[in-house]
A and B are shown apart, each in its own frame.
Chain A
Amino acid sequence: MSGKAQTIEQVREFTDDSYKYGFVTDVEVDTAPKGLNEDIIRFISAKKDEPEWLLDSRLKAYRHWLTMPEPEWQKPKFPAIDYQDSYYYSAPKSVGDGPQSLEDVDPELLKTYEKLGIPLFEQERLAGVAVDAVFDSVSVATTFKHKLEEVGVIFCPISEAVKRCPELIRKYMGSVVPYTDNKHACLNSAVFTDGSFVYIPKGVKCPMELSTYFRINAENTGQFERTLIIAEEGSYVSYLEGCTAPMRDENQLHAAIVELIALDDAEIKYSTVQNWYPGDAEGNGGIYNFVTKRGACRGRNSKISWTQVETGSAITWKYPSCILQGDNSVGEFYSIAITNHHQQADTGTKMIHLGKNTTSRIISKGISAGKSDQTYRGLVRMGPKAEGARNYSQCDSLLVGDKCGAHTVPYIESKNKSSVVEHEATTSKINEDQLFYLRQRGINEEAAVALVVNGFCREVLQQLPMEFAVEAQKLVGISLEGSVG
């Protein structure tokens, strides 16, 4: 999913360089050999023309990774991942590799696009069809970039940021999620291929919602993305991650890192609609989405707000968190997680209150259907200096059918007598009387389920930017297809 010209260039680069790195590579192939070792990491770093310090940090992470155990505390169980059986560098497919027209694309995928109301040229782009429309998007992206540059906002691939503003990268990357954090984050620190970098200067309110949507048009995102957002004093940014359409990825493991840093009086709003391939109805295939997302409210009165709609992936392991370090800082987590068929999700948040009068709010809506299983796992920690800190958590689970599961696992730690922690949780089954009532008005069973579930999620959907919310609502319906009847 990248510009044709860029792809050709990358392929050329690769073939020119290939012997230097000792890989026997077919001209047509733009993927590093399978497996993971220091040579692969050196290869990735060299492909990106990275400075020495970054390669060193990758290698350090890799060596540490080798010593780290797999996390085992989550509820989803799955066979051990064979890390040597994966590809760690995969450039955009060359023009000849991708589907040539929509006729070559999986009709199931197109059906989904249609239901989401995505225009035709957009469908081509999402399905990776090599067409000229891609070039149109590139020019859109360029216009967009100029507008941001006028106010001093930097929004570019992280590999570009390494070259443009190395001092920011060195200062902040890994400062919220250190490579030692967990096995998946450590792997990402070693092999991340690309991702987004956002810098909002002091006092600037970013004039538009930033979205990977634009960036994907021009650049390729890998399977190990790394995102870093820095909001300087008094600035504001709203960032939207992910396409709402399913990007069917052949790769099994998706291990990303997102780091957010908010300084004094800054606010970051981060919204995600995650719709990776969930596997088929029998539970074959699908993405393992093991993502470490964390925001640091470093400044006084700063605010970080996570909103997520998780409908995809075979297994989700994800806990977007806030470290509330600055006094009066605010952390928010709004989540909708929908699992169907054989999907498993273990998701939630961590609110770490360090500063005085810090507040956090957690609203989690979990919907389990089919034979899926879902766990909300959340930590609220009140540190010894977090005087007057408050948290409110509300976790609601809705079960569709009688073969699915929902679990709520809150962890509450308080080392401060003046802090207040509130936790409410409910679990209910989708109500047959509600479905009958809707059906008696002419609404078919699947649409009735979608309507009830959308109502159940409303509080969170309202947090999403307008155009995102509309697509998210449709996605709720699509994700639950085949869950009744």
Chain B
Amino acid sequence: MLEIKNLHATVGGNEILKGINLTINKGEVHAIMGPNGSGKSTLSYLIAGKDGYEVTKGEILYNGVDLTEMKPEVRAAEGVFLAFQYPIEIPGVPNTTFLKEALNSVRRHRGEEELDAMQFVKLIKAKAEELGIAKDMLKRAVNVGFSGGEKKRNEILQMAVLDPKLAVLDETDSGLDIDALKVVSEGVNQLRSKDRAILVITHYQRLLDHIVPDFVHVLAHGKIQRSGGKELALELEEKGYAEYGVAAE
């Protein structure tokens, strides 16, 4: 589903990624772990298509098609979802209005009929219930005045509504206490399926206790230094990133 080949990328003229290779098949959950500044978020923004992130060499193929040629909204409609590390506030725009606009944009792109207000309300209520999200969160302006946990749950809700094929979760555990972490992880686990690929990006191993990955990769100095199974995460937890030339924080 996702094939990253020898990816080099710059941000503001600085080379951050220096030759990444990664293949993710559908149904698989991969975790990328790495210290701060290793290029984890850069990789997620490159997949989503944020301005200012330049591919200088290599490619990102999504179902065999070059992803970097597509606008961010086209990637999203094609099934690429990024759960943001810092979800953005949109004052004055109710969460439901935003989600309806997003879902119908994606449906239009897929050649499906748009949902009307009634159909949408039914869908969103069902999804919110499955994920244990309070109704008032749907009416409030997007992420405005949300606690850290609510923001992350809102990301998972959006993921559930948009039903992506490839979901990238960027530091979804950051800023969460242990209870919130459990709730968010449960939400993600509900969305695991044999048709969906998930890429979890994290600094700490603790998230991977809840979202258990099939594969773990260590990213440092702009390259994947090592890949393995879920046990690699535990090893990192114990030894830190020192053996990859990164000083302890």
Which A residues fall within an 8 A CB radius of B?
Answer: 431-434, 436-445, 447-448, 451-452, 454-459
Contacts and interface: CB of A to CB of B under 8 A. Distances in A.
A68 B88 CA distance: 53
Which of B51, B82, B93, B158 is packed against the most chain A CB atoms within 10 Å? Answer: B93
Contact of A441 (B49, B76, B89, B141): B76
B48 A440 contact: yes
B65 interface: no
B105 A451 contact: no
B93 A451 contact: yes
Contacts of B71: 439, 444-445
Interface residues of B, number: 31
Interface in B74-101: 75-77, 81-82, 84, 87-93, 97-98, 101
B73 A434 contact: no
Given A439-B72, A441-B158, A443-B73, A455 B91 contact: yes
Contacts of B139: none
A451 B98 contact: yes
Contacts of A456: 91-92
Nearest to B78: A442
B71 to A, nearest CB: 7
B50 interface: yes
A185 B8 CA distance: 65
Given A443-B101, A443-B105, A444-B105, A438 B90 contact: yes
22 contacts: A432-B51, A436-B48, A436-B72, A438-B90, A438-B98, A439-B76, A440-B81, A440-B82, A440-B84, A441-B76, A441-B105, A441-B106, A442-B76, A442-B105, A442-B106, A443-B73, A445-B71, A454-B92, A456-B92, A458-B92, A458-B93, A459-B92
Nearest to A452: B90
A442 B48 CA distance: 11
Given A432-B51, A443-B73, 19 more contacts: A434-B88, A436-B48, A436-B51, A436-B72, A437-B87, A438-B90, A438-B98, A439-B72, A441-B158, A442-B103, A447-B105, A448-B73, A451-B90, A451-B93, A455-B92, A455-B141, A457-B92, A458-B93, A459-B92
Interface in B32-55: 48-51
Contact of A454 (B51, B93, B109): B93
Given A440-B48, A441-B76, A442-B73, A455 B90 contact: yes
B55 to A, nearest CB: 17
Contacts of A459: 92
A451 B73 contact: no
B201 to A, nearest CB: 15
A433 B50 CA distance: 9
B183 interface: no
Which of A431, A437, A438, A442 is packed against the most chain B CB atoms within 10 Å? Answer: A442
B61 interface: no
Given A432-B51, A447-B101, A442 B93 contact: no
B115 interface: no
A21 B73 CA distance: 65
Task: Identify the 7 closest CB pairs spanning chains A and B, nearest first.
Answer: A455-B92, A458-B92, A455-B93, A441-B102, A437-B88, A442-B76, A442-B106
B211 interface: no
A442 B92 contact: no
A304 B104 CA distance: 40
Contacts of B97: 451
B93 A440 contact: no
Contacts of A451: 90, 93, 97-98, 101
B42 to A, nearest CB: 14
A451 B109 CA distance: 19
B77 A442 contact: yes
A443 B162 CA distance: 12
A74 B72 CA distance: 42
B83 to A, nearest CB: 10
A444 B108 CA distance: 12
B145 to A, nearest CB: 14
A443 B72 CA distance: 9
A442 B82 contact: no
A451 B93 CA distance: 7
A439 B84 contact: no
A439 B82 CA distance: 11
Nearest to A436: B50
